[in-house]
Amino acid sequence: MDQAKTYTGGCHCGRVSYRATADLTQVLDCNCSICEKRGTLWAFVKAPQFELLKGADALTDYQFGKKHLHHLFCASCGVGSFSRGLAPNGDETYAVNVRCLEGVDTSALNIKPFDGQSL
């Protein structure tokens, strides 16, 4: 059963905001080097389920390793509220930082560890 709901999210200072329709019945806690340092929890959505409402001009792109993912963050406050890249099947996908979504109680989520260090 689809548990998708539409959320708004964004950075700390408000320059970046977006709308995403995501299923938060299970979110990922990645242990790769950047996710560990940022403390992110991820929900993945396909491109049609993500809409950047404002702040394209405020985003700075950071890539590392294989440079498959674009880790975007606000140039003003430094918060990385989402990333983008291609899914293994080639679909454009957004990784939404669940900690940056409005009205979400992260303590009530089913959080699944993801071994990003091994990629």
pLDDT at 1: 40
Query: 51: burial class by Cβ within 10 Å (0-12, 13-18, 19+)?
Result: middle
pLDDT at 2: 63
Q: Residue 108 in contact with residue 27, Cβ under 8 Å? A: no
Distance CA 93, CA 85 (A): 6
pTM: 0.90
Q: In what order do the strands lie in the sheet with 59-62?
A: 59-62, 69-74, 82-86, 92-97, 42-46, 27-30, 111-114
3-state secondary structure of 40: coil
Where exactly are the structural domains of the chain? 4-113
> Over the stretch 105-118, which tens digit does the pLDDT of each residue have?
999 999 998 878 78
Architecture of domain 4-113: Beta Complex (2.170)
Give 46's contacts (C-beta < 8 A, 6+ positions apart).
87, 91, 92, 93, 94
> Over the stretch 43-84, which tens digit does the pLDDT of each residue have?
999 999 999 999 999 999 988 877 788 999 999 999 999 999
Q: Residue 74 in contact with residue 97, Cβ under 8 Å? A: no
pLDDT band at 42 (very low <50, low <70, confident <90, very high): very high
Q: Residue 16 in contact with residue 54, Cβ under 8 Å? A: yes
